Amino acid sequence: MKRIHRLALILSILFICISCDQVTKKIASQQLRSVPSISYLGNTFVLQFAKNKGAFLSIGSNWPLAFQLLFLKILPIIILSIFYILLFRTNKLNLLSVISISLLLGGGSSNMLDRIFNNGYVIDFMNMGVGSLRSGIFNFADVFIMAGSGLMLISILREKKLLNRKVDR
C-alpha cells in the first residue's frame, strides 16, 4: 500500500472513531443525563448516562488519586503514544494491523480526551444483555477498542499461520 494511501486510511479511521464517539457522548450528555434509562427490545439494549472514573467496568474508580493519575491517565498516554509512533513510523504492518491499531488508537484517544477534559471521567451510555447477564455500561470508543482488539487477534493468528506454513516448507 502506498504511504499516502496508508496515511489517508489511518487519519480517516482516527477521525471517524473520535468524531463518532465524541458526538454520541455529547448527545448522551444532553439527552440522557437527567432521564431514567431508556430500554429497547425488551431490555436487551439500554441507554443510560453514566460517568465512569475508572477503566473497563469501572475498575480503578475507587483507587487513590495518585494511582488513578498513573494508571488511568499517564500510563494510557504513554501506551497510546507508543502505538502512534508504531503506526506512523513502521511500514512493515499489514493492512489488517494498520486498521486494528487505528481503531484501538481512535477509541483510546477519544476516551483519553474525556479524561482530560471531563475532570477524569469518561462518559458511558450503552448497556446490552439478556436478563441478569449484562455488559457494563460502555460507549462507542469502547466498541472501537474491542473491534480493534478482535482484528488485531485475527491479524496475529493469520501471521502465525503464515509463518508456520513458511517453516513447514
pLDDT in tens, 83-111: 999 999 988 899 999 999 999 999 999 99
Percent of the chain at pLDDT above 90?
74
pTM here is 0.90
Residue 168 scores a pLDDT above 70:
no
- With cell 484517544, the residue in question is 109
Please, what's the largest Cα pairwise distance for the chain? Answer: 64
**Which residues have a Cβ under 8 Å from the Cβ of 105 and sit 6 or more positions away?**
14, 17, 80, 83, 84, 87, 148
60-to-69, 70, 82, 94, 112 alpha-carbon distances in Å: 10, 11, 23, 35, 15
**Average pLDDT for 130-145:** 94
* Interatomic CA distance for residues 3 and 19, integer angstroms: 24
* Pairwise pLDDT comparison (57 vs 155), residue with the higher score: 155
pLDDT confidence of residue 1: 79
Helix (H, G, I), strand (E, B) or coil at 17: helix
pLDDT at 72 over 80: yes
pLDDT at 159 over 90: no
- Residue 89: phi, psi to the nearest 5? -100, -20
**Tens-digit pLDDT profile for residues 7-52:** 999 999 999 999 999 999 999 999 999 999 999 999 999 999 999 9
Local structure of 42: helix, strand or coil: coil
Residue 167, pLDDT above cutoff 80? no
At 55, the pLDDT band (50, 70, 90 cuts) reads confident
pLDDT digits (tens, 9 = 90+) for 105-129: 999 999 999 999 998 899 999 999 9
The helix (run of H) or strand (run of E) holding residue 72 is none
Mean pLDDT computed over every residue of the chain: 92
Q: How far is CA 11 from the centre of its chain?
A: 16
What is the rounded CA–CA span in Å between residue 32 and residue 38?
8
Please say whether the beta carbons of 14 and 106 come within 8 A: yes
